[in-house]
């Protein structure tokens, strides 16, 4: 397993398991649980979820997948912005802990910026840390301006991760956000690294994948993990897709292959608004 080191010194898996759109339908419940278990069996010991996903349904799916191995998995969840007041975040965390059937969330993120002050949200995060309810906190969908404001707020240096949309077709964060993260010792967590499947028919990606004997998804994920201190969390709701994603850990892209991908998916030539799904 490739790892990313947080500013705390802790190493976490660079390739994890996403759960967006899980826990929404009872008929898919067992299949989703089995897919997460399969990913954990393959060593993808980081799971990302949120109270928003299935309105708590995804967290309940994660709880079943974690049964008997909670201590081996780094669990990430996220709080709604409208729950990110000081009191609101404490109550929201309690609800997530109950659904996850755990005593501690390893990394708790503000899902996106809302109306509550960052100082109030940070205070809530720090209280949860003091109570042992969470170990670390971070944010999601923050651009460079948001991050600068966060880090200048009282306690803002406690942020360890910014989770953002990032894949071969959405490279805008390379203009300034990744550099800003590196300078401030913030790890990047990439969601939707496969562009929700839209990348899978690309000829360049397919040709490189054929050379490595893997599915195109593995090449797309290997490219994301090749970026500085970047964790990625693809969702896979079937055993086949989990295996395809896990194969990314064995893909080492050559300088020529990286040039081919740059030609097919050009890096940004200037600033752009942060892309959000």
* Active-site choice (53, 116, 166, 191): 53
Task: Please say whether the beta carbons of 83 and 128 come within 8 A.
Answer: no
HSE of 133, CA atoms in CB hemisphere, 13 A: 18
Residue in 238, 234, 229, 239 with CA at minimum distance from that of residue 219: 234
Number of H helices and E strands in the chain, helices first, is: 10, 10
Residue 91, classed as helix, strand or coil, is helix
Q: Report how far residue 209's alpha carbon sits from residue 217's, in angstroms, rounded to the nearest whole number.
A: 8
Side-chain-side CA neighbours of residue 37 (13 Å) = 12
Are 40 and 30 within 8 A, CB to CB? no
Q: Is 80 a catalytic residue?
A: no
State the Cα–Cα distance between residues 182 and 224, nearest whole angstrom: 15
Active-site residue numbers? 53
């Amino acid at each position: 397993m490739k790892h990313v080191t947080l500013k705390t010194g802790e190493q976490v898996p660079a390739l994890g398991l996403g759960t967006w759109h899980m826990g929404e339908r009872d008929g898919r419940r067992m299949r989703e649980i089995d897919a997460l278990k399969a990913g954990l069996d393959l060593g993808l010991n980081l799971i990302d979820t949120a109270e928003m996903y299935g309105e708590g349904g995804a967290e309940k799916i994660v709880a079943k997948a974690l049964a008997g191995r909670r201590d081996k998995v780094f669990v990430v969840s996220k709080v709604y912005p409208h729950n990110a007041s000081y009191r609101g975040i404490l109550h929201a965390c309690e609800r997530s802990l109950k659904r996850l059937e755990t005593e501690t969330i390893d990394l708790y993120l503000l899902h996106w910026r809302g109306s509550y002050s960052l100082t109030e949200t940070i205070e809530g995060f720090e209280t949860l840390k003091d109570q042992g309810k969470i170990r670390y906190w971070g944010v999601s969908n923050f651009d460079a301006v948001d991050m600068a404001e966060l880090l200048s707020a009282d306690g803002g240096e406690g942020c360890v991760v910014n989770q953002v949309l990032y894949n071969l077709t959405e490279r805008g964060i390379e203009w300034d956000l990744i550099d800003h993260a590196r300078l401030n010792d913030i790890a990047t967590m990439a969601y939707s690294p496969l562009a929700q499947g839209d990348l899978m028919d690309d000829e360049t990606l397919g040709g490189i994948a054929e050379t490595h004997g893997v599915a195109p998804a593995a090449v797309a994920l290997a490219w994301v993990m090749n970026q500085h201190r970047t964790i990625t969390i693809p969702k896979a709701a079937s055993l086949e897709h989990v295996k395809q994603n896990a194969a990314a850990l064995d893909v080492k892209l050559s300088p020529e292959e990286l040039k081919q991908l740059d030609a097919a998916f050009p890096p940004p030539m200037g600033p752009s608004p942060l892309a959000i799904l």
